[in-house]
A and B are shown apart, each in its own frame.
Chain A
Amino acid sequence: MDTVTYPNDKVIEFIQKNLIPLRVAFDAQPLSTDFNIKWTPTLIVLDENGKEHHRTVGFLPPEELIPSLLLGIAKSPFNGERFNEALSTLDKIIAEYPKSDSAPEAAYLRGVCKYKSTHKPQPFKEAYEQLQANYSSSEWTKRAYPYRLL
C-alpha cells in the first residue's frame, strides 16, 4: 500500500477530501483486539461514533481502493437506513468505477436501497438483471439470483 496505492495522487486527494485517515500498527492495543485484527493491511471504514461499516483485508491497487472506500462510505447511511444518501454514493461507484470489484456489490445494495425505500419488489429484479448483464460471474449476481422471479 505504501509503495503503490497510498502515493497515488487520486488516492491522496480522495482520502483527504472524503475521510479522516487514521493509521495504527496491527498490534496496537486495545484496537487490535477490539477489531480482531489477524492480517495486514486491514482497512476499516468507521462512522463518527467508531462503529465499523466496511472492511477489506489485503492489498488494493488505486483503481480498487477508491471504489472500495466509496462502498464503505455508502454502507454507513445504508446501515442507518438513510437509503437516499446511500444511493447517491452507490450510483457513483457504478457510474465511475463500473469495472471495479466493488461495482457488483454496489449494484446489489442499490437494489436493496430502492426496495427499502419503496417496499416494491421491482428494484430487486432490476438489480438482478443489471448484475446478470454486467457482472454475470460475480458472487453478487448469484446472491441476487432468486430475485429474477419477482
Chain B
Amino acid sequence: MANTIIWETDVKSALARARTEDKPILLDFFNPG
C-alpha cells in the first residue's frame, strides 16, 4: 500500500476507473494556494 493517496486529476479517467473497479469516487475540491 502506497504511503500517500494517489489522486486522479482527470474526471473521465476517474469515472472509467469507478466503473471498472465498482467503487464510488471521492471528489476533492481543494485550494492549491
Interface residues of A (CB under 8 A from B): 1-2, 6-7, 9, 11-13, 15-16, 18-26, 28, 31-32, 35, 37, 40-50, 53, 69, 72-73, 76
Contacts and interface: CB of A to CB of B under 8 A. Distances in A.
A9 B3 CA distance: 7
Contact of A24 (B15, B21, B27): B27
Interface string B2-33: 11111111110011011101111111111110
Given A21-B8, A26-B30, A41-B29, 10 more contacts: A2-B30, A12-B4, A21-B6, A22-B27, A23-B8, A25-B29, A28-B29, A42-B29, A43-B26, A50-B11
Given A9-B3, A31-B11, A20 B24 contact: yes
B30 A41 contact: yes
A49 B28 CA distance: 17
A19 B29 contact: no
B8 A40 contact: no
Contact of A20 (B1, B17, B32): B17
A11 to B, nearest CB: 8
Interface of B: 1-11, 14-15, 17-19, 21-32
